[in-house]
Structure 1
Amino acid sequence: MTARNGAAYLDRLRTHSPELWVGAEKITDVAGHKATSGAAAEIARLYDLQSKSDSMLFSPEDGAGKAGVQFLMPRTAEDLELRSVMHKQWADSTLGMMGRSTDFVSAMLVAWNANAEFFGEGADRVRAYYKYVRDNDLFLSHALADPPVDRSKPPSQQPDPFTYLGVKRETPDGIIVSGAKMLATAAPYSDEILVWPFSLRKYGAEEKPYAIAFAIPADAPGVRLICREPFGGGNGFDHPLSSRFDEMDAVVVFDDVLVPWERVFINQDFERVNNIWAINSNAFTGVQTSVRLLAKLQFVAGIAKRATETVKTDQFPQVRDALGEITTYIELTRAAVLAAEAGARPNDDGILFPDVRPLYAVRNSANRWYPRVREILQQILAGGLLYQPADVSAFDSPIAEDIARFYRGPDTNSLDRIAIYKVAADLAVSAFGGRHELYERFYAGDPLFLRINTQFNQYDWTEPLGLIDGLLATSIKDSGLLPGGTGEGAAA
């Protein structure tokens, strides 16, 4: 067992490419196709970064060799810090642009392994699967949500019984499942897909066939991925972000897929699925998403600062105020990660779980912060975002002198100035940038119900109510009136 490098990742992807559809085209080589090769290369670079960094590797007690820190089961404050540093290294390397780098689902798997008893008869399967993924250093995606065919009805009342993913039948070898899940970000690059139901609707007995959780190789027979329009494939100068970081989103179709019993973690148990949040995977995925957000906000702040410096608008108070707004989001995010680590508590087996409260606060704020940050880019860079020549060929054309003359900054040549604004435009006004705004709004679920559930329904109101109740008790006592509204001497 040893953590793999980028070449090993790409070799496996080439030999185990999933069935991938982009429009009417079936892609058979994810690592080599222009629509997907950019992100595949970036993931390979992450594996190279991990394999060359001692701080991103550890020696598991139950194995030989080295494994990625993304699989470290934290028992000390130092372990938690190691995990956060690892997340930051991965996020910085992708500028926070790859929300489903493999350290996200591996963080989920750490929580599943730590709370494996939740899965009942599937507990040992979860433990074995965690070890298998760790020891083979696999890239995981996940597919949770149901296709939005008829949101007003539960799975059992959809147009056909296998619109949503469900169990058709059981066999001696495993369960046969059919239906679809969405939206599996980065699934085309993954070795395996972790599948379970994400729904705010509670399942009843009639939903048993849909109450399942399992893992499946991305190239398993009967599994196919239907992708959205690719944003990658362009050159690195004109499309500096989308050419590298377009982590494809896909609908996963399961066409009579056999899931072996050893990969079935929950089998038609609606009560267990209704309580799956008891695993508390948000404690670990919340750190990863917050650290990634931190890197992304820092990157956007850097773009904004450099672009405004280039044309001297950074001197204007309204621009400085807008840049300062971005930095407040940076520091609030950083503080939430530190607070989550400081408030970590061990489970019964001594695994430290970060405090989810500050992580929830960031998750329920960032889905509003990021659209605002993108708006700030549009407002302070304004027409400059549309001012660039169409592509890099303009520098070697009959209009090259015009480019050199009219696209320079006061202290910056035209090449450097255009390069900065191409980055800003790729995030602020391109289709790639629009997808990122949508992603940050909804990747964790509906923002309204997330906030209601975590900041109201599940929130610990003890301290806020204790403060007001304490004051009310004092003020009523000082009034000289009895609680019923009667004066103390009324009976006399």
Structure 2
Amino acid sequence: MNLGEQYLQRINDGRKVWLRNQVIDHVAKHPVFAETTRTIADLLNKQTTPETCEELSYTNQDNTSRTNMAFLVPRSIEDLFRRHNAFKYYANATFGVTDGLSQYARSVLTGHYASRNFIGIGNHYSRKLEAYYKLVSENDLLCTIASHDPQENRSHLPSKLDGSDSRLRVVNETKEGIIVRGARMAAANAPYVDEILISFYDPRSREDQHHGSMFAVAAHTPGVHIVCRDSFVTKEIENHPLSGRYEDMDSVIIFDDVLVPWERVFIASDPEAIKKVQQDPVAAALAQHQSVVRLLSNLEFIAAVGHALTSASEVKTLLHVQEKMGELIIQLEAIKGLLLSAEHRSSPIYENIWLPDERTLHTARNLGARFYPRSIEILQQVGSDTLLQNPATLEEFNGPIGHLLRNYYRGADREALERTKLIKLAWDLVGSPLATRRKIQEQFFWGDPVQALAVQYENYPKESLTEAVWKLVETKSR
């Protein structure tokens, strides 16, 4: 049985996935999730295909099997390039629309594993994290990260919310493990994964001791409820080529007095240890590297659709259209240049863990939060009302007025049916619910974009800039 088939069988495990007040009995067969899980299965199979095996996987330390490239701890700049190439392959295969293979979450886990002995938490953390990393990587498991509190009252820390039961916390400890209750959000693709890693990006104080734990659970663990937003999927794939194929489902994970075995508890009720994990640069750098590669794939796809769209109506020769298309090219080339710069300026940390340049990655990330919404706006502008003047379905070309549609919907360089398919693709990219979700994700995936810029300013070595200024100001006239 190939990796894809193993995966499809594996996720039929009794997990509690909730959609529209119903539990989904078999995720892989449900119409909302079937296309996405099939895509994931196909991508998993590429890992063992002779033509792509070397690009997407590496031989593990025991030389017993091959492991997905996201689990590779980079020990050289060449290893960063290998990770880049694998991420780019997967991103291009889905046009950057989905991260169904959990390459981001896998990179976070790989970073935690790589730095486990260097951040001063203790042997118990190191030992458990190493065992968990081996479990996930050697069995090619998919995972997601639930890292944010429910947005009940963001002005207060958990300990200051009187009577609130929403934020995840430890309610009891037993010989078997900890009992946790509460919710975590921003768990992308949770219905499709094997494992859910609970980490924290939100601040924790000493008073929040019971709210400061880091652990992992299997998706089918009793008491774990995966609550999905409404789906954007449509059964008409031909009319919705992106929405019909890819559902990056967002979920809230509810823990209803869940027992987490001690071997899966990396940090128990220890805000100071959580702070050390938050400040560790390895997981953040490896995850940001993956997300910037996917951003590049996104921008390349948008530019490609824009060029096809303007060619189909022969407006690509108009100066104002060329200006906007040129802006799309500048965006993708800027991100490409920053990505290559981050890799070529990489350096080792701890015991030869090779990381891309942090400052350059942050620049790409912060620009991406602005580039992506702007690129969608440009597509809307160059497409204009053409995006709205389309038959409802492609089947109409075979209907009573099909001959009229084939005559009046043709493009400058395409027949009517092909042009209509292109416009439907463009609309799916800029005007559908999926498009809105993608725009929000790219703007806020790394948090508040305003704060992100402020942090970059605060951390920048500004003295190197102002030294010349003060030297000039203080120079006496001759």
- Indicate if the aligned counterparts of 1:179 and 1:254 stay in contact, CA closer than 8 A: yes
Amino acid at match of 1:444: W
State the partner residue of 1:12.
10
State the partner residue of 1:145.
148
- Mapped partners of 2:259, 2:234: distance in 1: 34
SS in 2 for 1:234: coil
State the partner residue of 2:78.
78
- Mapped partners of 1:249, 1:385: distance in 2: 27
| 1:478 has 2:476 as partner | yes
Which deviates further from its counterpart, 443-452 or 138-147? 443-452
Q: Which residue among 33, 38, 42 is the counterpart of 2:39?
A: 42
C-alpha displacement at 1:4, in angstroms? Answer: 6.2
- Indicate if the aligned counterparts of 2:146 and 2:199 stay in contact, CA closer than 8 A: yes
Amino acid at match of 1:206: E
Q: Which residue among 334, 341, 359 is the counterpart of 1:339?
A: 341
| 1:207 has 2:208 as partner | yes
C-alpha displacement at 1:277, in angstroms? Answer: 3.0
Aligned counterparts, 1:308-387, within 5 A: 308-387=310-389
- Indicate if the aligned counterparts of 2:215 and 2:265 stay in contact, CA closer than 8 A: yes
| 1:136 has 2:133 as partner | no
- Mapped partners of 2:2, 2:359: distance in 1: 35
SS in 2 for 1:251: strand
| 1:297 has 2:286 as partner | no
- Shift in alpha-carbon separation, 1:63–1:460, aligned structure 2, 3 A: farther
C-alpha displacement at 1:234, in angstroms? Answer: 2.3
Q: Deviations over 1:132-177 (max 9, x none)?
A: 1110001111101111111121112335343101111111111110
Aligned counterparts, 1:412-491, within 5 A: 412-453=414-455, 455-464=456-465, 468-479=466-477
Q: CA RMSD in A?
A: 1.6
Q: Deviations over 1:240-266 (max 9, x none)?
A: 001111111111100001111111111
- Mapped partners of 1:107, 1:461: distance in 2: 31
- Mapped partners of 1:160, 1:395: distance in 2: 60
- Indicate if the aligned counterparts of 1:17 and 1:188 stay in contact, CA closer than 8 A: no
- Mapped partners of 2:223, 2:422: distance in 1: 45
Identity of aligned residues (%): 33
Amino acid at match of 2:28: A
SS in 2 for 1:167: strand
TM-score, length-scaled by structure 2? 0.95
- Mapped partners of 1:451, 1:272: distance in 2: 27
Q: Which residue among 272, 282, 302 is the counterpart of 2:284?
A: 282
- Mapped partners of 1:174, 1:298: distance in 2: 47
- Shift in alpha-carbon separation, 1:17–1:159, aligned structure 2, 3 A: farther
- Indicate if the aligned counterparts of 1:17 and 1:30 stay in contact, CA closer than 8 A: no
Aligned counterparts, 1:15-164, within 5 A: 16=13, 18-52=15-49, 53=52, 54-62=54-62, 64-99=64-99, 101-117=101-117, 118=119, 119-120=121-122, 121-158=124-161, 160-164=163-167
SS in 2 for 1:51: coil
- Indicate if the aligned counterparts of 1:36 and 1:233 stay in contact, CA closer than 8 A: no
SS in 2 for 1:314: coil
Q: Deviations over 1:171-230 (max 9, x none)?
A: 11111101001121100100001111222xx32211111111111111110001111110
- Mapped partners of 1:264, 1:83: distance in 2: 29
- Mapped partners of 2:102, 2:63: distance in 1: 21
State the partner residue of 2:259.
258
| 1:402 has 2:400 as partner | no
- Mapped partners of 2:87, 2:345: distance in 1: 19
- Shift in alpha-carbon separation, 1:115–1:128, aligned structure 2, 3 A: same
Q: Deviations over 1:48-83 (max 9, x none)?
A: 122212221211123511111111111122111111
- Indicate if the aligned counterparts of 1:282 and 1:356 stay in contact, CA closer than 8 A: no
Structure 2, unmatched stretches of 5+, are: none
TM-score, length-scaled by structure 1? 0.92
- Mapped partners of 1:297, 1:71: distance in 2: 26
Structure 1, unmatched stretches of 5+, are: 481-492
SS in 2 for 1:245: coil
- Mapped partners of 2:276, 2:448: distance in 1: 19
- Mapped partners of 1:30, 1:233: distance in 2: 16
- Indicate if the aligned counterparts of 1:290 and 1:363 stay in contact, CA closer than 8 A: yes
Number of matched pairs: 471
State the partner residue of 2:271.
270
Amino acid at match of 1:39: T
